[in-house]
Chain A
């Protein structure tokens, strides 16, 4: 019997033929021992709390994604809110609305910094909550 036949026999779970030669039996026994060793599981595996670690990591990842969406919506809300206020004021009193717009452009960096500070506070709060979690 050649190596291919012996391997095929072991793969199929067939028994050794009775009329096999001594050398054939020796080959078969070698392969049989090898197949048994190939099924041996590794000594060192994953830690016992692996599933809860993965679950925690996933929760943090999903929370970060939700927080990012919230922060983007908050930023868009600020922009939209300012724009809506300007439009409403234009409808009520166009002159004052234009004055407000000029003032906003003059103090644009104050507005931008205030928005960044607000969003920064949100992000910081989320990170602290994450670490506690």
Chain B
């Protein structure tokens, strides 16, 4: 059983094994967030490492006002956002316009191959979506955070989170239905 308070207390006393335990406990959570927000695979592991270094740095300030997982997810989210701001190539790949007008474009020949594997195809479609849609889909479905927690993590108001989630899922469902019909 992972005792947050005990592990944090040991880390603050300089226990590196406790820190490794914390990393093992939350590496999946951090990876899920970074994986969807950052496109280039080479950067993902580096950014995940940066997140945990920042977690260690900021741990003295953590007062258990939220769950440790929510706090770490917020650091991961902000680190990814910083990376996207600095990295022009990634920023250009993101959909900058009003996301309510977003729609999927026509398929390329490569997507025909991917369609045979539905999970891979869904992941491919998600990667094409605006950042806010990718973020809420990941935090809600993969990381299993609640809507209020997603608001704490991203700073996006609850109402906007709900509408982004609804719209993203509707777009995906319609696109998949359309493609299966073909």
Residues of A within 8 A of B (CB): 3-4, 7, 30-31, 33-35, 37-47, 50-55, 57-59, 61
B20, CB-defined interface residue at 8 Å: yes
* Minimal Cβ-Cβ distance residue in A for B175: A34
Interface class of chain A by DSSP: helix
B137, CB-defined interface residue at 8 Å: yes
The answer on a CB contact under 8 Å between A45 and B28 is: yes
B42, CB-defined interface residue at 8 Å: no
Contact A50:B123 (CB < 8 A) given known A34-B176, A42-B32, A42-B35: no
The answer on a CB contact under 8 Å between B48 and A3 is: no
Residues of B within 8 A of A (CB): 16, 19-20, 23-24, 27-28, 31-32, 35, 41, 45, 48-49, 52-53, 56, 118-120, 122-123, 137, 141-142, 165-166, 169-170, 172-173, 176-177
Could you list 13 examples of A-B contacts with CB < 8 Å?
A31-B173, A40-B122, A42-B35, A43-B120, A44-B41, A45-B31, A46-B27, A47-B45, A51-B20, A52-B20, A54-B52, A55-B20, A57-B53
Give Cα A37–Cα B118 distance, bound, in whole angstroms.
Answer: 8
Give Cα A53–Cα B141 distance, bound, in whole angstroms.
Answer: 28
Give the shortest distance, in Å, between B31 (CB) and chain A (any CB): 5
Give Cα A42–Cα B30 distance, bound, in whole angstroms.
Answer: 13
Cβ-defined partner of A37 (8 Å) among B16, B122, B166 = B122
Give the shortest distance, in Å, between A49 (CB) and chain B (any CB): 10
Give the shortest distance, in Å, between B136 (CB) and chain A (any CB): 11
Q: Tell me which residues across on chain A come within 8 A of B19, comparing CB atoms.
A: 54-55, 58
